[in-house]
Structure 1
Amino acid sequence: MLGFDVGTARKVWTAFLIALLFCIIYIASTTVLVIVFAVFFSYLIYPMVTLVERFRPRRLPRVASIALVFVVVVALIAVVGSLFGVQLQDQATRLLTQLPALMRTDVPNRLPLPHFLEPLRERIVDFLRSQIETGSDNAVPMARSLGLGVVHAASNLIYLVLIPILSFLLIKDGSQMRDAFLALLSTRHRRLWSEIVGDLNVLLSKYVRALLFLSLATLICYGVAFSLLGLPYAFLLAVSAGLLEFVPFAGPLAAVAITLVVAVFSGYPHLLWLVIFIGLYRLFQDYVLNPYLMSEGVEVSPFLVIVGLLAGDQLGGVAGIFLAVPVIAMLKIVIGKARAFHSAPHDEGDAERRALTGKTD
């Protein structure tokens, strides 16, 4: 009578709750990020847990097999870090130290440029030199700030400890948590959210494992090829490319740019072979390996990917860029399932009423 519509009020209330949820996530971004990384780590570990469970004696509890996998994985990460961390640090320090000297050589004058840019070669080279020299002058303050950042990260090592602990608990109690969540819903909505949770589980498991395989493939292929081609700082560039593979779209482009810049300013003589290898590998990665590994559930249009990357960078920096694609894919699943659920008849009575209405009309 007063113009109050119950349906509109429910929609407004739902929109308010969603906005409040996003606000809480933004405020507690550090905690949410730790939980997200714990979830991703769980999806990486879970296949090994299922493999160990096949050979687990029945008298041993499931917790024992989960704990065994976590101990082995953490020990393996520690061993790999101790073996290759020194070499990685040595190459990074050497590159940072030699970069100003490399810029004073005649190598930049031999940069391959298009014919129409040849008259501007001197200005381009001077601009590049000034930019790198400015960066080298700031190397000491940057190193100081980097040291402070390391100290700050060391003070927050609790988060690194919490990630495997939370992953352990997620694997151990994940099914009970899912059942408890579904039990809170009505019978009508339980079916919808059961399908959504199942699809999200498939999406995240395939996405996280695909990213891991893509990163390892890039690390191994770049490392072997760069070593065979005699590229300076081969291990450092390969590790950088492997880590940047976790950042969709922008990461591989940044890895290619960094590799070519280091090769050019190091006076690498086989630049053409390097470009051919990188071009062939990116074609294989982007059009064969990537579609094969991400064949289910991660189909997001390039427009949405770019918009998501820009928005993720504004909201959360590198972490936001990393999470942009899976978040968009998850929203796509939730919206699609919700639309299909609300457009379909919910029970036989609804189907009969719709059929009668259609006949009457």
Structure 2
Amino acid sequence: MLGFDSRIARIVWTIFIVSLLLFLLYAARSTLLVVVFAIFFSYLVYPLIQLVERRRPARVPRTVSIALVFVVVITVLFIAGGMFGTKMVDEATRLGQKLPDLLNSSNDASQFPLPTFLEPMRERLLGLIRTQVQSGTKDALPWAQRVGLGVMHAASNLIYVVLIPVLSFLLIKEAPGIRSNILSWMPEPSRTLWLAITEDLDVLLSGYVRALLLLSMATLVCYSVAFGLMGVPYALLLAGIAAVLEFIPFVGPLAAVVLAVVVAGFSGYEHLLLLVGFILLYRLFQDYVLNPYLMSEGVEVSPLLVIVGLLVGEELGGVAGIFLSVPVMAAIKIILVRARASARAQPPSAIAASPGITGTMRVQEESRRRDS
């Protein structure tokens, strides 16, 4: 009617709604980030809740068992932070105080051990390393200041620290009912599609978050024990940094290796080849044995897309955007795959009535036949 194509109108309206939704999400990214971390925390503690509920007496409410698990987990986190966090802070303080001396060009270059075949190039290599580290240090100072201000801002808004476990508690308690209510509002085809999508996302996020946590813990334990036994300087600090960097695909573990070798070398550690050999063996074990086993239920994402996602995530959300880039891309892939499968499963009559180029003409022809 009036030359107005309803199919084009639906496409334009869909693009407008999606764009508006993305804009609102970006505008509320700070609040949304708290919710996302609460979801991740929920996936971390949910296996413990399932374990408790298997042994929960029938007369004990489910809310009580959930609250008990949260109290135990938060207590353990505080104890671990008090035991290891203080030592990490002390090592970071000592490293920061010694860093100018370690990077001083007048330092004796012989303190940095090198393999025999690289001895003739010692001065050139160490000069290059010093230049790059000093340049990186200068560039890192403004970034560190921004991070410090962010930490101070977060510390001054402790409400967020309290909100994350509270939101996690409510999500675990109320999420099944919320999902059922939302799905009940949808028509049958959409309900089936989004039920499958939510189930896939649940499996993806639960496996991804728990796998990352286990990989990070494995790195922390293995690095701290091995570095301590080998006498590596700042062992616990380097292990803690490597554990945190495990949450950044590809780039994070590589940065942890470079940081450990450079700090150990400039601190006068004499067994760099032993350190590098251990790190390589651990990376091979993690990348080809532990990681595939833990990530077996995940959705594969192209390494190119991962790197692009890391860059886009850093631009949009900073450090948090880097952490969230991979699960977001995997979630988008799940939605697209499910939507495509649902479209292919539609009967021919439904397909002819909507997505084809001549869909509008076919609908008009069918209406004329019914009128006649």
What TM-score results when the alignment is normalised by the length of structure 2?
Answer: 0.86
CA contact (8 A) 1:66 1:168 kept: yes
Q: Structure 2: how far apart are the matches of 1:139 and 1:108?
A: 27
- How far residue 153 of structure 1 moved from its aligned partner, in angstroms, is 2.1
Q: Which residue of 1 aligns with 2:73?
A: 73
Structure 1 residues 145 and 301 mapped into 2: Cα distance closer, same or farther (>3 Å)?
Answer: closer
Structure 1 residues 199 and 143 mapped into 2: Cα distance closer, same or farther (>3 Å)?
Answer: closer
**Any stretches of 5+ residues in structure 1 without a counterpart?**
354-361
CA contact (8 A) 2:112 2:269 kept: no
- How far residue 288 of structure 1 moved from its aligned partner, in angstroms, is 1.3
Q: Structure 1: how far apart are the matches of 2:135 and 2:337?
A: 51
Q: Structure 2: how far apart are the matches of 1:189 and 1:141?
A: 49
CA contact (8 A) 1:48 1:69 kept: yes
CA contact (8 A) 2:109 2:123 kept: no
1:251-270 alignment, distance < 5 Å: 251-270=252-271
- How far residue 243 of structure 1 moved from its aligned partner, in angstroms, is 1.1
Q: Which residue of 2 aligns with 1:30?
A: 30
Structure 1 residues 305 and 181 mapped into 2: Cα distance closer, same or farther (>3 Å)?
Answer: same
CA contact (8 A) 1:41 1:164 kept: yes
- The aligned amino acid for 1:196 is I
1:24-103 alignment, distance < 5 Å: 24-103=24-103
Structure 1 residues 323 and 236 mapped into 2: Cα distance closer, same or farther (>3 Å)?
Answer: same
Q: Which residue of 1 aligns with 2:302?
A: 301
Q: 3-state DSSP class of the match of 2:186?
A: coil
- How far residue 290 of structure 1 moved from its aligned partner, in angstroms, is 0.8
- How far residue 292 of structure 1 moved from its aligned partner, in angstroms, is 1.0
Q: Which residue of 2 aligns with 1:107?
A: 109
Q: Structure 2: how far apart are the matches of 1:255 and 1:108?
A: 24
Q: Which residue of 2 aligns with 1:182?
A: 183
Residues matched between the structures, number = 350
Q: Which residue of 2 aligns with 1:235?
A: 236
Q: Structure 1: how far apart are the matches of 2:9 and 2:313?
A: 31
Structure 1 residues 301 and 114 mapped into 2: Cα distance closer, same or farther (>3 Å)?
Answer: farther
Q: 3-state DSSP class of the match of 1:262?
A: helix
- The aligned amino acid for 1:161 is V
- The aligned amino acid for 1:30 is S
CA contact (8 A) 1:100 1:132 kept: no
Structure 1 residues 130 and 257 mapped into 2: Cα distance closer, same or farther (>3 Å)?
Answer: closer
- The aligned amino acid for 1:93 is T
- How far residue 263 of structure 1 moved from its aligned partner, in angstroms, is 1.1
Question: Does 1 or 2 have the higher relative contact order (CA < 8 Å, sep 6+)?
Answer: 2
CA contact (8 A) 2:37 2:164 kept: yes
Deviation string 1:123-177 (CA, Å, 9 cap, x unpaired) is 6644654665678799999987766544322212111110000000000001001
- The aligned amino acid for 1:106 is D
Structure 1 residues 140 and 207 mapped into 2: Cα distance closer, same or farther (>3 Å)?
Answer: closer
Q: Which residue of 1 aligns with 2:281?
A: 280
Q: Structure 2: how far apart are the matches of 1:313 and 1:148?
A: 18
CA contact (8 A) 2:44 2:209 kept: yes
- The aligned amino acid for 2:213 is L
- The aligned amino acid for 2:286 is Q
Q: Which residue of 1 aligns with 2:367?
A: none
Structure 1 residues 17 and 146 mapped into 2: Cα distance closer, same or farther (>3 Å)?
Answer: closer
Q: Structure 2: how far apart are the matches of 1:316 and 1:292?
A: 30
Structure 1 residues 142 and 311 mapped into 2: Cα distance closer, same or farther (>3 Å)?
Answer: closer
- The aligned amino acid for 1:244 is L
Structure 1 residues 158 and 200 mapped into 2: Cα distance closer, same or farther (>3 Å)?
Answer: same
Deviation string 1:32-88 (CA, Å, 9 cap, x unpaired) is 110000000000010000111111111111000000000001111111111112111
1:338 aligns with 2:339: yes
Higher deviation after alignment, 144-153 or 251-260 = 144-153
Q: Structure 2: how far apart are the matches of 1:191 and 1:326?
A: 23
Deviation string 1:225-279 (CA, Å, 9 cap, x unpaired) is 1111110000111111111111222111111111011011111110001111111
Q: Which residue of 2 aligns with 1:290?
A: 291
Q: Structure 2: how far apart are the matches of 1:245 and 1:114?
A: 32
Q: 3-state DSSP class of the match of 2:284?
A: helix
- How far residue 346 of structure 1 moved from its aligned partner, in angstroms, is 4.8
Percent pairwise identity = 58
- The aligned amino acid for 2:276 is V
- The aligned amino acid for 1:65 is S
- The aligned amino acid for 1:293 is L
Q: Structure 2: how far apart are the matches of 1:139 and 1:203?
A: 34
- How far residue 13 of structure 1 moved from its aligned partner, in angstroms, is 1.1
Structure 1 residues 132 and 291 mapped into 2: Cα distance closer, same or farther (>3 Å)?
Answer: closer
1:164 aligns with 2:165: yes
- The aligned amino acid for 2:109 is V
Q: Which residue of 2 aligns with 1:356?
A: none
1:94-243 alignment, distance < 5 Å: 94-104=94-104, 105-107=107-109, 110=112, 112=114, 122=123, 125-126=126-127, 128-129=129-130, 148-243=149-244
Q: Which residue of 1 aligns with 2:4?
A: 4
Q: Which residue of 1 aligns with 2:313?
A: 312
Structure 1 residues 114 and 39 mapped into 2: Cα distance closer, same or farther (>3 Å)?
Answer: farther
Structure 1 residues 21 and 49 mapped into 2: Cα distance closer, same or farther (>3 Å)?
Answer: same
